[in-house]
Every structure is written in C-alpha cells, then in structure tokens.
Amino acid sequence: MAEVFDPVKGSEVNLEGWLDQVVQTWKVIPEVQLNPNKFKHLAIICDGNRRAAQLRGLNPWAGHRVGVEVIKGIMEAGRAWGIKHLTFWAWSTENWRRDPGQVDFVMNLAARYLRDPEAVDELIKHQVKFTHIGRKDRIPSEVRLAIDDLELQTAGFDKLFVNLALDYGGIDEAARAIAKISELIREGGLTELELAMNPGIILGFLDTGRQPAPDLVVRTGMPAEEIPRTSGFMPLQTVYSGWKFEPQLFPELTPQALLGDITDFLDYERRMGK
C-alpha cells in the first residue's frame, strides 16, 4: 500500500517546516495535574486538517499528515495531565464520499502510523490500550489488520486508554448496539422489561463499552460565525458531556488552547439536572 501524495510544487519544504513547527509546539506542555476523579475522558473531533493545509498553499491532504503529529502531542499531554481516556474522531461514516485520492491517502496514512515501530513502542512503553471504535468492515484490509494487531498487542494495558474513531458515525453505532441488544433478547439473556427499567444497559453495547463517558468534547475548526454542531458524535455517550467549539484548526491546536478548554470546563459547575 504505497503512500499517495501529490504536493503542490515546492511544498515539500513547506510541509517539513510545518511538521517541525507542530512537533516543537507539542514539546512545550504546561505542567498541570488534573483531578482524575473530576476529569476522566477527553474526546476530540479533529476538524480542519484540509483547511489548515490550504491556508499554507499545500495540498489539502497534507493537513492529515500534520494532524498525526497533533494526535501524538495530545496523547503526550494527556499522560502528563493525568487524563485516563482519550478519543480522537479521525474519519466519519460520511467521509467515504470524499475524493477517492484523499480517501486512499488517509487510509495509507492510517496503515503507516498504526504499524510505525516507534509509535507502537511508545504505546507499549506507556502501557496504552488502543481501541478502534466504528465499523471495520469497510476499512481497507491493511488498515484493519494493523488495527487488530495493535488492539491485540495493547489489550492488557490500563495506564491510558486511547480510542481511534475511524469510519465512525453515531447513528451507525446506535444501530449496531440495537442489533446486539435485540439478539441478546432473542437468546433470552435480557428481557425488554429489564432494559426498560435500566436503560443505562444500552451504554455497555456501544463501541466504548464500559469506558466512562466523555467529560468534555472539543471540536476544532469551528469559527465563532458558524453555528456549532456535533455531527452525530457519540450521541448517547455525550448526553451530559461539556462541549467546546474551538476556532483553531486541528493542526493549529496548541497545548495551551486545549488546556484552556479543559480549564473552562472544570471551572463551570454542571448541575446535572439538579
């Protein structure tokens, strides 16, 4: 599976400089320790990769390459700040409609970095459990095998949980959960009355299983003039989550901006229906 990339003339140097800038940005992580009882799960909708690249005169697909470095940086920040669960939404069920060349590039990129020895060693070193959420049946076989291998290699870890939402859609996830519940009811393992009396059972059949719901969801690339939208991300898990719509495009996200979003959330007192 060869990497597909057709940069704008002369943009290779610009891309290398951009990559270096992002790597250096995420090396300077504020020293903060979050209360693990108050903040357990951060989810991020990684939006704005293509726009960030176009603003630099680069092939829009280059933004996805830079986005990989931001994900790495956020994982490092999460470890430093004491966040136990991280979720990244990288590819939606609707994204398959995009230009075939872009689809190929993103899938090749995923296969490359899910198998990257250095990245895998980092996950193992820090005992990070990797989990894919979303559908696997439409993902190219090389990416699917890389996901399976990484899930298997990290299955026993519990220091940090990282979810990669690839071919994920909230309605699709709900439909798959309903199918599992229906099958369990048919087999006699669950009754409709039990489900009605304890609807929280549904959460256990979602892709995130027994993981805590996100405390905060940050969606990047949402300028103030746009009407915020969740695009169907974790509709059941996020019923009580906080949302921050960050104007910075995902490749432009900084540790300081992300920490600011988290601090704003923690400073806000949720009433939770009280």
State mean pLDDT over 92-111. Answer: 95
Task: Note the residue count of the chain.
Answer: 274
Q: Rounded to whole angstroms, how far apart are CA atoms 160 and 126?
A: 8
35 phi/psi in degrees, rounded to 5: -75, 115
257 phi/psi in degrees, rounded to 5: -65, -45
| Residue 268: per-residue pLDDT | 85
- Tally helices (H) and strands (E) across the chain: 9, 6
Is 47 assigned a catalytic role?
yes
| Residue 224: per-residue pLDDT | 86
Task: Quote the mean pLDDT of the chain.
Answer: 93
Find the catalytic residue in 35, 37, 95, 215: 95
| Residue 4: per-residue pLDDT | 43
Residue 271 has pLDDT above 60, yes or no: no
**DSSP symbol at 222:** -
pLDDT digits (tens, 9 = 90+) for 151-209: 999 999 999 999 999 999 999 999 999 999 999 999 999 999 999 999 999 999 999 99
pLDDT digits (tens, 9 = 90+) for 233-259: 999 999 999 999 999 999 999 999 999
Ordered strands of the 242-245 beta sheet: 128-133, 160-168, 85-92, 41-45, 216-219, 242-245
Domain ranges of the chain: 46-267
Find the catalytic residue in 6, 20, 47, 163: 47
> Largest Cα–Cα distance in the chain?
65
Q: Which CATH number fits domain 46-267: 3.40.190.10, 3.90.1720.10, 3.90.1300.10, 3.40.1180.10?
A: 3.40.1180.10
Q: Rounded to whole angstroms, how far apart are CA atoms 29 and 54?
A: 27
